[in-house]
Structure formats: C-alpha cells, structure tokens
Amino acid sequence: MRLSPVRLTTAVRRLAAGAALALLLTACGEEPPPAPTPEVPRASLERTSFQALPGWQADRLDEAMPALRSSCDRMARGNSYPAAPEFLTEDARAAFPGAAAWRDACAALLAVPAGAGVRLRQVLTTWFAPFAVADAATGSRDGTFTGYYEAELRGSPVRQGRYQIPVHGVPSDLVSVNLRAFDDSLPAQTLVGRVDGGKLVRYHDRAALETGAAGAAAPVVMWTDDAVDLHVLHIQGSGRVVLPDGTTTRLSYAGNNGWKFVGLGRILLDAGVLPPGQGSMQHIRAWLKANPQVAADYMRQNPRYIFFRRNDGAGPIGAQGVPLTPLRSMAVDTRFMPMGAPLWLDAVDPDGRPLQRLMVAQDVGSAIKGQVRGDFFWGTGEGALAHAGRMKSTGRYFVLLPVAARS
C-alpha cells in the first residue's frame, strides 16, 4: 500500500536541500548527535528445484492464475519489471534477472488459458527457477507468516443518522519527502509531515486527528457508524463498505500520517485487560466493542493513522496496484522481495494444517518487515477474519525468478 506523494512547497524545498531531513522532525529543531549506522540486513537466494518445493505436486496451480495474470499484465502494460531488491546480497543482486527475462516469462504466463493447471505447471518449470530465501547473516530460512483480510463496515457517502464517524482522505497539508530525491547517498526513506512556520514537522498523530486537528485540510470520503470497525479498517489497510441501500463500495489505502504502527493486541495485553493468548483480532475487536467507554483511549495509543480513497472498481487493491486474490496474494517486505514475483509458501494455517501453495507478492504492510516475512491475504469479511485474525505461523518461502530470456 503506497503513499501518494504531495507536491512540496517552496519552503520545504529549501529546507530539504540541506543536510539530512530527519533533524527537521525534532520538536526543538536542533541538530541531534549522529546516530550509529545500523547493520544492514541482507537476504540470500539459493537456487533449488521445483521437486524440492514442499507440496509442489499437490497444489491447484490454476487457482493462482488470476494473481499471476494481474501482476504480469500490470508489469507488461507499464513496461515496469522488477529490479533487484536493495537488500539482497551482492551475489544475489548480480544474478537477479533483468527486464528481458521478466518480459518473456510473463508473456508465457499470460498465454496460459484459464483453468489450464497442467499447462501452467509446464510454463513455470520452463520459464522460472525457485530460490530459497534466507537471512544472509544466520542462514536461517525460517520466518513469520501472519494473515490479513479486507475489513467490512457500514457507511454512507453523506453524514446522516447513525453515520457520524468520518473516514478521512489524504489531507491537503500533508507533505511526503523522498530523501533519495535530494541525495542518492541518503537512505531510501520517505518522511511525512506538514509545514509549520517554514519548517517540516511531524504530522498530527491519531489522537490529534480524531479530535479535529487537521480541520478542513482532511476531506471526508465516507461516514461510518462504528469506531472499532473503522480502526480495524486502518489496521487492514482496505475495506468493503455496505451502503444504506445495500450496495457496496470499497475504500483503498491512500496514505498515512508517518507515525509508527503500534498494535492493539500489544496495547491491550500490556494494559492487562486481555489475558495472554487472547491477542487475536477477534478477541481484540470483541473486547473493544464490549467496552466502548474506554475503547477510544486504547485505540488512540496507536498513533499511526491511515487515509483512504473511494474505490468503486475491483479490489481490494494492493501495493502493486492490482486487485488482490484471496488465498493467493501476499504482502512482503520489498527491501528483499520484488512486487509481482511468484512465491512458493511453506507454512501452516491457524489450525496447524499445511499451507503449501503458489502465491504472488502484491502488497506491503507497515508491520511486514524482514527477510522471510509474509502476510497471507484471506479474503473479505467475517469468514476471512476467522482465519486471518488467528494466523501467526513459522514458515519459509521460495521466490520463483525467470531464467534467461529465450530467443
């Protein structure tokens, strides 16, 4: 889910053209002492065989065809094929396929008819090679796989009756600054804030935004009737809205306020109001709805705020800009994994059953960080929540990369 940049003002351009912009976000405006350079994490790739992929012969590959097709079609139409992720090892980056290999492999995938699982298996084994992904420092292939879903809530395009809680779009005074735009040696980081007195300062946090700090700068794209379901929408990043006449529309991620995400499970567990082992989304949501007198205070301890746009088309839309496919789309950390890449997942579902299947990297998430880390998209509504809210599995994955372009 990507942040939509907002044009910088002249004042911000002057401020940004100097040294590191991070110091502009400090409250006092004084230069902090230099921070130690953190060790850069790296992911390694080791080539393996399709026969070594756990469950390879058992998967219904044709069910992944909509996800593969949407990603390849997006890349082909934009002529934007994956480059080597920044934090691969040097050897992995050197061996990463170029645009020609991706173009030819995608053309082969797009030629596979719908429902032709046998043909798809042949194309994958001909045009791709699987690589095990690992933490380069430790060699471990194990990572954490969680689940997410498309939230569902009730809403109205106009404020009326029970619909009194605003869902905000991107504020007109929100500014995002890509450090690399000013100096290629700076980190690949985007700073989010607003201009105040000629300085770039942090944008309002959740508590301030929910009490009207942004004023008219933050447009309202929808009105809803449930603050807890709205907070769940912020966590999931997109949702389906049931309108008063029974029709539906969607809300898609449009931006955020730049603050770090703090999970409600952690907040409620630390406060002692939820016992250990009951930090699933189902338990969290049920407790908040049962305790409306304190729910708002706890939710405001998560300072991160998401802004939305209305989406009347297919969805939900992931970070690659394509509709997500239930049970086949995954959110990843793009420092290590390229958008649009086919993945082979080897994990378990919330009930301990094997989850071994072909996926596609089509989304990101603020909590999805690490060399081997994924968020499994379960679909829409309460049925999907029943799985997504409970999933936290140790597993591994393999990335399928195109072999050399064919003549």
Phi, psi of 68 (to 5 degrees): -60, -45
- Quote the tokens at residue 203: 């944008």
- How far is Cα 9 from Cα 108, in angstroms, rounded to an integer? 46
pLDDT beyond 70 at 230: yes
- How far is Cα 352 from Cα 242, in angstroms, rounded to an integer? 33
**pLDDT above 70: percentage of residues in the chain:** 89
Other Cβ atoms less than 10 A from the Cβ of 250: the count is 21
pLDDT beyond 70 at 137: yes
Concatenating the DSSP letter of every residue in 178-217 gives EGGGT-TTS-S-EEEEEEETTEEEEPP-HHHHHTTTTGGG
Query: What average pLDDT score do residues 127-135 get?
Result: 97
What pLDDT is stored for residue 24 in this prediction? 43
- How far is Cα 110 from Cα 112, in angstroms, rounded to an integer? 5
What pLDDT is stored for residue 34 in this prediction? 55
Q: Under a CB-based contact definition with an 8 Å cutoff, are residues 162 and 225 in contact?
A: yes
- Using 50, 70 and 90 to split pLDDT, how confident is the model at 274? confident
**CA nearest 165: which of 173, 155, 178, 175?**
155
Q: Locate tokens 């980190």: which residue?
A: 187
Most confident of the ranges 39-48, 77-86, 368-377: 368-377
pLDDT beyond 70 at 195: yes
- Using 50, 70 and 90 to split pLDDT, how confident is the model at 25? very low
Half-sphere exposure of 121 (CA within 13 A, CB side): 14
Look at residue 402 and give its three-state secondary structure: strand
Q: C-alpha distances in angstroms, 275 versus 73, 279, 294, 383?
A: 47, 8, 17, 24
Look at residue 292 and give its three-state secondary structure: helix
Contacts of 236 (CB under 8 A, 6+ apart): 148, 149, 150, 151
Look at residue 356 and give its three-state secondary structure: strand
pLDDT beyond 50 at 5: no
Q: Exposure of 218 by Cβ count < 10 A (0-12 exposed, 13-18 middle, 19+ buried)?
A: buried
* DSSP state, residue 233: H
- Using 50, 70 and 90 to split pLDDT, how confident is the model at 38? low
pLDDT in tens, 85-100: 989 999 999 989 999 9
Q: Exposure of 258 by Cβ count < 10 A (0-12 exposed, 13-18 middle, 19+ buried)?
A: buried
What pLDDT is stored for residue 4 in this prediction? 36
- Quote the tokens at residue 249: 């529309």
Whole-number mean pLDDT of the chain? 88
Inter-helix orientation angle 227-236/292-299, to 10°: 30
Q: C-alpha distances in angstroms, 142 versus 56, 360, 398?
A: 19, 19, 11
Indicate the pTM of the whole model: 0.78
Contacts of 377 (CB under 8 A, 6+ apart): 147, 148, 149, 318, 324, 325, 326, 327, 328, 329, 330, 331, 363
pLDDT in tens, 313-329: 777 899 999 999 999 99
